[in-house]
Amino acid sequence: MRKTIKNLRKIVAEGGVARVMAAHDPLSAILVEEAGFDGIWASGFEYSAAMGLADVSLVSMTEHLTNMRNMADRTSLPIIADVDTGYGNAINVLHTVTQYEAGGAAAVVIEDKMFPKVTSLIEGGRQDLVSIAEFQGKIEAAVSAREDPEFLIIARTEALIAGLGEEEALARARAYEASGADMILIHSKQKTPDEIESFINKWEGNTPIVIVPTAYPQMTEARAKSLNKIGVLIYGNHAVRAAVTGMKQVFSQIINDGGIQNADREIVPVSEIFRLQQMEEVKANEKRFLR
């Protein structure tokens, strides 16, 4: 497994809650690292959005993997790769896990939706899940495909998203833990943390819980920690939303001002982009090697 400056398993084993921020390209991944997060979420939603596409299994495994690999090349934080359904059945999962581990990920999240999937937070989305037995086969395939036992297999149940209720969510989580998942991601689109807190309070398994509190922002890190069972908190789409916010603001200012005279003062200087591109290193290498 690729060497990283933080270790998600260790943070969780020591009773911490790992804070993981979404990224959609290597530049946003670099900014995640510089900000001080514990890991990078190679989000399918963010990458789809960056491609101008809906998050409904339109981007291929190869595209998402290449983007994740580029992030791994440019950063040193652990990357949790969002591999959606694993891009097909358990046979596809074998290949997916092998490729993402070799590509530099520290973990994969595989969800129990049917391929092709529909993004979770959309109102009235078609949310079809595979059977518990089929998904257990996929988790077992993921566990058997990893080379390094430290590589994390995170099983994600969409039972609450699909409106199947807490009993079904708990039954699925228990079954996925029994199949060898290292952590369980439970997702909810309720506007308050109640649904997730109720699930977590009833969870009696040993595997830590992962949440993505996009829909219920009242779930602060302190509140997550107080529940005692959450190991990883994923900020699922805040990089792409911040990017859209920033670009909209600056683009409209330039249109309204008829030029860049005001916007120029409000955005980072070009020198900051040079720094992120490590131009100093390029210059040093030029001095050293160009003859």
CA distance 124 to 77: 35
Kindly provide the b/e burial profile for residues 270-281, where b requires at least 16 CB atoms within 10 angstroms of the residue's own CB: eeeeeeeeeeee
**44 touches Mg ion by CB under 5 A:** yes
String marking each residue 81-110 x if it binds ligand SPV according to CB under 6 A: -x----------------------------
**44 touches ligand SPV by CB under 6 A:** yes
* CA-based nearest residue to 162, from 138, 186, 135: 186
> Do residues 257 and 263 lie in contact, with contact meaning Cβ atoms separated by under 8 Å?
yes
Q: Is the peptide bond before 193 cis (omega within 30 degrees of 0)?
A: no
> Do residues 101 and 146 lie in contact, with contact meaning Cβ atoms separated by under 8 Å?
yes
- Least distance CB 121 / Mg ion (angstroms): 10
> Do residues 154 and 184 lie in contact, with contact meaning Cβ atoms separated by under 8 Å?
yes
Q: Which is nearer to ligand SPV, 35 or 270 (CB)?
A: 35
Question: Of the listed 55, 82, 84, 182, which one is catalytic?
Answer: 55
Return the residue of 28, 119, 136, 207 that touches ligand SPV, per CB under 6 A.
119
- Least distance CB 152 / Mg ion (angstroms): 16
Residue 51's binding partner out of Mg ion, ligand SPV, none, with CB under 5 to 8 Å set by partner kind: none
Q: Give me the half-sphere count of Cα atoms (radius 13 Å) on the Cβ side of residue 189.
A: 16
Q: Which is nearer to ligand SPV, 53 or 279 (CB)?
A: 53
* CA-based nearest residue to 55, from 120, 119, 115: 119
Tell me whether residue 55 is one of the annotated catalytic residues: yes
Residue 119's binding partner out of ligand SPV, Mg ion, none, with CB under 5 to 8 Å set by partner kind: ligand SPV
**121 touches ligand SPV by CB under 6 A:** yes
What SS3 state is found at 26? helix
Q: Which is nearer to Mg ion, 145 or 185 (CB)?
A: 185
Q: Which stretch binds ligand SPV (CB under 6 A): 41-49, 88-96, 142-150, 175-183?
A: 41-49
**61 touches ligand SPV by CB under 6 A:** no
**45 touches ligand SPV by CB under 6 A:** yes
* Residues marked as catalytic: 55
